[in-house]
Amino acid sequence: MHHAFHDALTGQPNRVLFRNKFEETVIKGESSDEPFGCAVLIVNIDRFQLINESFGHSAGDRFLISMASTLRRCIGSQDILARLSGDEFAILVPNMREIQPVIDVCDRIHTAMTQPYDLDGNEVFTSVSIGVASTISSATHPEDLIRDADFAMHRAKIAGKACTEVYRRESHQEARSLFHLETELRRAVERQELQLYYQPIIDLRTSELHGFEALTRWQHKEHGFVSPVEFIQLAEETGIIVPLGRWAIEACCTCLKHWIMEVGEDRVVPINVNVSGVQFARDDVATVVENALKKYNLPGRLLRIELTESSIMANPEHISLSLDRIRALGVKVALDDFGTGYSSLNYLHQFPIDIIKIDRAFINQLKRGNAQFKILEMIGMLATNLGHQIVAEGP
């Protein structure tokens, strides 16, 4: 019976016993003459995998045993500590009528984690991320409360680790909405329900059309227009950006081929297509571009690739090689959002770039003679000397 309900490594209750104790506490609290609530803490060790990789799994096991002892010292005599999985512990705080005593437990745990652990003569410092859910602000069913505390713990991870997050229903509803939006975005990409809008690139002196920038737009059947601020970031986080990026390149080439058939190749201007740094990391963008040009029998000069500084920073060597292959096809490369990064000048000579795009936020501050105006003059002079074209994003 003991082995069935306790963790073999730390000797603490396992998930099954923890859930049973939790149910008993909820029933007792609801049937009491003076009803009380309870709270669940999910405690996850930050960077635990590094301990296993650095010192071995046996040392990691010893660390978990020490971790259980530390947590035990930080909680009250009536509180229940359990080990749910590898580097994740749970704490049940019964007889709770307000949240502050629970926060005090979390603070004691964080304070205890500032002390080093001794692993085979090596001092190891680590931290924990804690998620808190209580019957005051969440559900009363044990599994639901554990789920909510786990959600709050992941919010603590996103917030930078080594901190505590208390479950908030609004945040969970937002996360659920994003989950549904992700599913709908996947289907929209598969069914080609997205559209490209073409923003013109104009010479301000002559009003001559020099090209277009393709912008992905999503008109949802039920929710209407979905801002790219919402779905592009979501696409990058989930990997949907790869098929989305492939579709955008293919759609641009289809459009270019149609224009050539309508007005002739000499009158067709290039289209700029944005490629995410995530797609560069996960996909062979150069081959995708090459195959698309071959499929539609297009000259490389009619397609241009745009990427941001942040994309380059993520994997500079890999992206530099990809850009060299892309430019060998006759495709020009534009550096988007120039002026917003901290090392832009370094990229101008280090990477194969043909066009500099000045960010809209920078342009919106321009007044003749002000600091932004003078900086723009210097950027223009620099770009000219390096042989780069300049495009300014309009307000």
What's the pLDDT at 188? 87
Of all residues in the chain, the percent with pLDDT exceeding 90 is: 50
Q: Is the pLDDT of residue 124 over 70?
A: yes
Higher pLDDT, 242 or 349: 242
Quick one: what percent of the chain has pLDDT higher than 70?
A: 92
pLDDT at residue 44 in the model: 96
pLDDT band at 364, cuts 50/70/90? Answer: confident
Tell me 354's DSSP state.
-
327-363 per-position pLDDT tens digit: 999 999 998 877 665 555 666 677 788 998 887 777 7
Pairing of strands 209-220, 195-202: antiparallel
Summarize pLDDT for 273-288 with one digit per residue, the tens: 999 989 999 999 999 9
Q: How far is CA 129 from CA 74, 94, 107, 149, in A?
A: 15, 21, 11, 11
Cα→Cα distances 242→169, 182, 280, Å: 32, 14, 9
d(CA 48, CA 88): 10
Output the CATH code of domain 2-167: 3.30.70.270
Give the residue, 4 or 311, on which the prediction is more confident.
Answer: 4
Domain ranges of the chain: 2-167, 178-392
The answer to which of 80-84, 165-169, 310-314 has the lowest mean pLDDT is 310-314
> Distance between terminal CA atoms of the chain?
70
Question: What are the DSSP calls for 58-126, one per residue?
Answer: HHHHHHHHHHHHHHHHHS-TT-EEEEEETTEEEEEEEEESSSHHHHHHHHHHHHHTTSPEEETTEEE--
- pLDDT tens sequence across 32-69: 666 677 899 999 999 999 999 989 999 999 999 999 99
pLDDT at 346: 66
What is the CATH class of 178-392? alpha beta
